[in-house]
Structure 1
Amino acid sequence: MNRLQKANEYIRNNKTKTTNRPYFHFSPEIGWMNDPNGFSFYKGKYHLFYQYYPYDIVWNDMHWGHAKTEDFITWEYLPVALANDKAYDANGCFSGSAIEKDGNLYLMYTGHIDPNLGFDRDEREVAERQCIAFSKDGVTFEKYEQNPVIGEKQLPEGYLICDFRDPKVLEVDGVYYCVLAVRNVQRRGEIIMFQSTNLLDWAFHSSIYQAKFEDNLLLECPDLFHVDGKSVLLFSEMPCDPEYQEVVQNTTAYVIGEMDFEKGIFTPEKKGLLDYGQTFYAPQSTEGKNHERLLIGWMHRWHQTLPPKEYGFNGMMSLPRKLTIQHGELTQQAAIQHEAYFKQIVSLENKQLQNEVFDIESEGAGYLKLHFSRSSSTKFMVEFHKKDTTSTRIHVDVTNNRISYDSDYGNQGIITINDCFRDDENTLEFYVDLHSVELFINDGEKVATFTSYDQDKGKTISISAQHNIELTHVHFEGFLS
C-alpha cells in the first residue's frame, strides 16, 4: 500500500472518532492541519487544499488534504491529494498553490528534504525545491516525472536552498509567474519571482521584496494579486532564527503597491497587518466566481496548549474574507451567506446600558453586530464563551480609540488594537464558533482573530458597561447547526 492509499484508508476508518469540531469554520476530518494550499475556483466549486497529517494532532510528515465547497459552510471532503512519496519530497509536501491550465488543475508545491524532520535542524541537510502535480478531474493528481521544476539550478547565488518554499502561481497576459519565499545569505527573508510559459520550465525573474536586516524576519507564504486597481503582496512573518523567538511575533502582513511584471519590479506604497490577533497565519487568496478576491487563513495555536487528545483534530481555517481597497487600506469582510445558515435571535434599537449586563444565549456559535457612535459611548465590554466568571473579553474603549482583549482560555495575554473608531457611527462584527472569535471592525478596516481549544467553555454572550452608554443597534444571529 502506498502512502496516499494508507492515508485515505486511515481517514476512512477513523474519522468518526473526532469530537468537538467547530460548527462553521473549516477543520480536518481527523488529525493535524495547518496552511491553506491550492485555494482556487475550479469547475464551479471552491477547492481548498491544506497542509495535513492525518495520523495525529501534532505536525509531522506533510500531506495535502483536500475539500471543496460552494458556500464555505458545507464542505465535501475529497481524497488526500498529495503524499510525501518521492525522493524529492520525502520529508513533506510543503505549501503551494493551484492554477487552471487547459482545463486541468495544476498544483505547485515545495518538496521538503530534512532527515531530522525539523526536530534537530541541520541546514546542511535541508533542501526545499518546487514541484508540479496535475489533474484532469481536480481529485486525482499525478506528479510531474521531471520534478523538481525549480531547484538549485534555477536559484541564483545569494540564497539558501534550506529555506526556499511556498510557491504562489499566477498568470498575467499569457505568462506564468511564481512568487516564492527564500532566506538570503544575510539570513533574512526575501520574496523572489520566477517566470514560465508552460508551468514546467521556469527561470529566475527578479527579487521583488526584502525584509529589513534589523527586523530579524523570515518571510513565508507569499501571495501576489491585483484588486481595485492596485497590486497587493501578502506574506507571513516569523523569527529568522530561534534567538529572536521571544521578540518577533508570527504575523501576516500586506503591502499595497504597483507590480511591473515585465521589469520584475514591485514598488511598495503602504504596509499593514492583515490580522491584529495572534492566531492567524499563512493566508492564501483566489479569484472568486464573481471575480472578487477571496482570502482564507489558518487559525493557528503555535506554542500554545494542544487541543485535548480526544478531540482527534487540530487546526481550523478562518472564514473566507472578501478583499477590497478603501481609502488606501486593505479591508476584509466575511464572505459567507447568512440567510441559509444563521437565524435572527436578537434585534434591538437604542439599547441603553449602565451598571448592567445584557446576556444573549448563543448555543456556542453565531454572529453579533453592534452599532454605536463615539458621542454616546465611552467604554463597554463584550464577553464570549462566558461561563460563571470565565470568558473571552473584548474591551471597547471608545474614549481612547482602542480595543483590547484577553481571555481565561488560551493564555495569550492582553492584545491591544489602536486607532479603531470613526468620528461618527461605528460597527463591530463578531463571528463566534466553538473554538474561535473573529472580529471585524468598521466593515473590515481592521480584523482580529482569537482561537482556543479549551474544553467546557460557556455559551453565553454578555454585553456590559459601568457608565451609561447607548448601542444604536444590537443584532445577533444564531448558527443553524
Structure 2
Amino acid sequence: MRDEKLLNIAYKAIEKSKEKVSKDYYTLKYHLMPPVGFINDPNGFINIKGEYHLFYQFNPLYPEDKKAYWGHVKSTDLVNWQQLPIALCPSEWYETHGCYSGSAVNYKGIFTLMYTGNVKDSSGNRETYQCIAQSNDGVNFIKYENNPVIYNQPEGYTRHFRDPKVWKYGDMWYMVIGTQTVKEQGTALLYNSKDLFDWKLIGEVAGANTDKLSFLGYMWECPNLLNIDGKDVLIFCPQGVEKQGDLYNNRHQCGYLMGNLDYETGKLDYGDFVELDRGFEFYAPQITEDNKGRKLLIGWMGLPDEEESPTVKNGWLHCLTIVRELSIKNHRIIQNPVEEMKLLRKNRIEYNNIEIKSDNLKLDKINGDSYELICDFSWDIVSKFGIKFRCNKDCSEETVLYYDVEKEKLVLDRDKSGLSLKGIRKCKLKNHGNLKLHIFMDTSSIEAFVNDGEEVFTARIYPDKDSSGVTFFSEDGNVKLDIQYWEL
C-alpha cells in the first residue's frame, strides 16, 4: 500500500507539471531528461532480452521535497527511448530517504536490480543498506523479501557506503561499491557472491589512503569496474579533490584508474588517475556491455550540489549525456558517440577545403540549436582557431571552443553562453597540425568529442532562443577546414 501511495504522489506530480516542462525552450530534443523534477545518476544500464534498459535517479517532487525514485526507460537503438512506469520508490524501512544508485544484471533469466537504500534519522545520521529488486516482465519490480542483503558498512568505513555495481566473472558475482574510510578518505571495495544474496568482502580495489592517490578526496561515488580491450578499469567519482591547474576544476570529479585486477585480493594494479571528461557537467557514469560486445557509457550531465539553472523555475533540472562507446588507445580511454546516433541525422550539409585567413567566417545553413557537426581543421602557422556556437547578432552571447596552438591547449569558454553558468575548461592537446571536433549541440547542452574521442568536453549552456549562429575563426594565421553538418 505504501508503494502505491508513493507512486500516486509521483504520477500526480508528473501530470501536474509535464506540460510546463515540455514548453520550456531549454527542454532537450534528443537527450534523456526527467518528465518533471530532478534527474541525476543513471542506474541499471543493461542490454537484456534484446532491449536496452536504463534507470535513473528521479525526484518528481523537486523542488518541494526530496524523494529519490528510480525512473525507467527502454530502447532498441539507444537513441529512441520509451518511458516506462517508475521502477522503484522509497517505500520500505531500509530506503525511507531514497532508493539510491545501483546496477542491473540478468540473474538466471530474471531481471535483477541492486541498489542502495538510504535512511536518515532526525539528526541527519545516515544508514545505508544494499538491496535487491527483481522483475519477470522487465517493468514491474518486486523488492526481495529479505532485504537488505548487506547491512551498513564493514568495520573501518563510514556510513557513506553506496552505489553497488554488479557483474559476473567466471562462476562468481562481483560487486564494487563506493565508500569512505573512518579517516574520511575515499575508496572502493570489492565483494563477491555465489548467488547475489550472500556477499563477502574481498578488499579495497584502490583508495585515497595511498601516497599515489592521496589527493583523491574524502569519498568515492558511483564506481564501475570493467574490462575494456584487455585492461581492467575502475571508473569512479572522487569528491573533495583540490584543483591542480587545468585539472579537477569542477565541484566534484569523475575519472578512472587502469591496470589489472587481482580477483583474489581485490587489488587493482593501477597507473595514474585520469579525468574522463574535460568539461563542466559530467558525473556518475553507468557502463554496460551489450550483445555486440561493446562497452557503453551514459553519464549525468550535472553535478551534486549544483542546482543553478533557469529550468528550475519550470520545475525540472538536469539531463543525461548521449550514449558513448568506450575503447582503449595508448593506455587511455577513448569515448565516441555510439553508431546509432546517426539515426537522428537529417538534411546533411557539407563544405570542403574552406580556408579561414585570420578572420571570422559564417557558412550558409550552418546554424541552429540542435545539430551534429564534424569539423576537420589543418594548419601550418596560426596562433588560435576554433568555433563560436549559439551566437547572437552582436556576439555578446556565444559559447567558444578553440585551440591555442602556442600553448597546445583546447579550451571551452562559456563565459558568454547565456543564463547562469559561466567558466572556462582546458586540456593539454599536442599540436599535430590537424584537429577533429565532433560536436553534438542540443537546446541547452553541448558535447564535444576531440580527435575521435581522445578527449571529451560536456557542458550545459542556456543561450537565448535567437542565439543560433555558428562562426568559424582563426587568429594570426590560416586554417583549412572540412565540415559535415546534420540537423538533429
Residue 406 (structure 1) shift = 1.6
2:144 matches 1:139: no
Q: 2:362 matched to 1:358?
A: yes
1:440 to 444, 449, 463: 449
- Give the counterpart of 2:50 among 32, 44, 50: 44
1:218–1:240 Cα contact (<8 Å) kept: no
2:309 is matched with which residue? Answer: 306
2:101 to 95, 102, 127: 95
- Counterpart of 2:355, as a letter, is Q
Go from structure 1 to structure 2 and tell me whether the alpha carbon gap of 1:473 and 1:455 turns closer, same or farther (over 3 Å shift). closer
Distance verdict in 2 for CA 1:287–1:370, change over 3 Å: same
Gap regions ≥5 residues in structure 2: 243-247
Matched residues in 1 for 2:381 and 2:254: separation? 34
Residue 320 of structure 2 aligns to which amino acid in structure 1? M
Does residue 398 (structure 1) correspond to residue 400 (structure 2)? The answer is no
SS in structure 1 opposite 2:94?
Answer: helix
**Separation (CA, whole Å) in 1 of partners of 2:293 and 2:202:** 27
Distance 1:374 1:128, change over 3 A: farther
Matching of residue 166 in structure 1 with residue 163 in structure 2? yes
Residue by residue, what CA displacement relative to the aligned partner does 1:381-424 show, whole Å, maximum 9, x if unpaired?
31111113201111221232111122223433221111x24525
Confirm or deny: 8 A CA contact 2:391 2:397 kept in the other structure: yes
Alpha-carbon distance between aligned partners in 2 of 1:104 and 1:15, rounded to the nearest angstrom: 33
Superposed CA offset, 1:81-100 (max 9, x none): 00000110001111000011
Task: For 1:218-367, list aligned pairs within 5 A.
Answer: 218-239=219-240, 249-300=251-302, 302-354=305-357, 355-359=359-363, 360-367=365-372
Residue 130 of structure 1: CA displacement? Answer: 0.6
2: distance between equivalents of 1:213 and 1:329?
22
Aligned residue pairs, count: 465
**Residues 243-287 of structure 1: CA distance to partner in whole angstroms, max 9, x if unpaired?**
xxx987311111111012133221112431100112000001000
3-state SS of 1:15 partner: helix
Letter of the 2:482 counterpart: H
Deviations 1:178-214 (A, max 9, x none): 1011110111111001111111111111111101445
Match in the other structure for 2:245:
none
Moved more, 59-68 or 275-284: 59-68
| Separation in structure 2 between the aligned mates of residue 379 and residue 358 of structure 1, nearest angstrom | 17
What is the distance in 2 between the residues matched to 1:193 and 1:475? 45
1:195 & 1:439 partners in 2: Cα distance? Answer: 38
Q: Deviations over 1:93-143 (max 9, x none)?
A: 110000111211111111001135xxxx74xx2111111111111110011
TM-score, normalization by structure 2: 0.90
Equivalent residue letter for 1:40: I
The 5 A counterparts of 1:405-416 are 405-407=412-414, 408=416, 409=418, 410-416=420-426
Q: How far apart, in 1, do the equivalents of 2:347 and 2:376 lie?
A: 16
CA distance in 1, matches of 2:466, 2:56: 28
Task: Measure, in 1, the Cα distance between the counterparts of 2:466 and 2:181.
Answer: 45
Is the Cα–Cα contact under 8 Å of residues 18 and 310 in structure 1 kept in the other structure? no
The one-letter code matched in structure 2 to 1:144 is: Y
User: C-alpha displacement at 1:235, in angstroms?
Assistant: 0.2
Q: TM-score, normalised by structure 1?
A: 0.91
Equivalent-residue separation in structure 2 for 1:474 and 1:468 (angstroms): 19
Find the residue that maps to 2:19 and give its secondary structure: helix
Q: Is the 8 A contact 1:41 1:47 kept in 2?
A: yes
RMSD value, Cα: 2.2
Q: Which runs of 5+ in 1 are unaligned?
A: none
Could you tell me how far apart the structure 2 residues matched to 1:126 and 1:345 are?
Answer: 53
> Do the aligned partners of residues 58 and 206 (structure 1) sit closer, same or farther apart at CA in structure 2, a change above 3 Å counting?
farther
The CA distance in 1 between the partners of 2:139 and 2:11, in whole Å, is 13
Q: Does 352-361 or 192-201 show the bigger shift?
A: 352-361
Pick from 79, 85, 89 the counterpart of residue 73 of structure 1: 79
- Residue 149 (structure 2) aligns with: 149
Contact preservation (8 Å) 1:370, 1:471: no
Asked whether the equivalents of residues 105 and 134 of structure 1 are also in contact (C-alpha less than 8 Å), the reply is: yes
Task: Using the aligned pairs only, state the percent identity.
Answer: 31
Q: Is the 8 A contact 1:26 1:73 kept in 2?
A: no
Distance (whole Å) between structure 1 residues aligned to residue 215 and residue 381 of structure 2: 44
| Cα distance between partner residues in 1 of 2:366 and 2:279 | 25
In structure 2, distance between residues paired with 1:178 and 1:65:
22
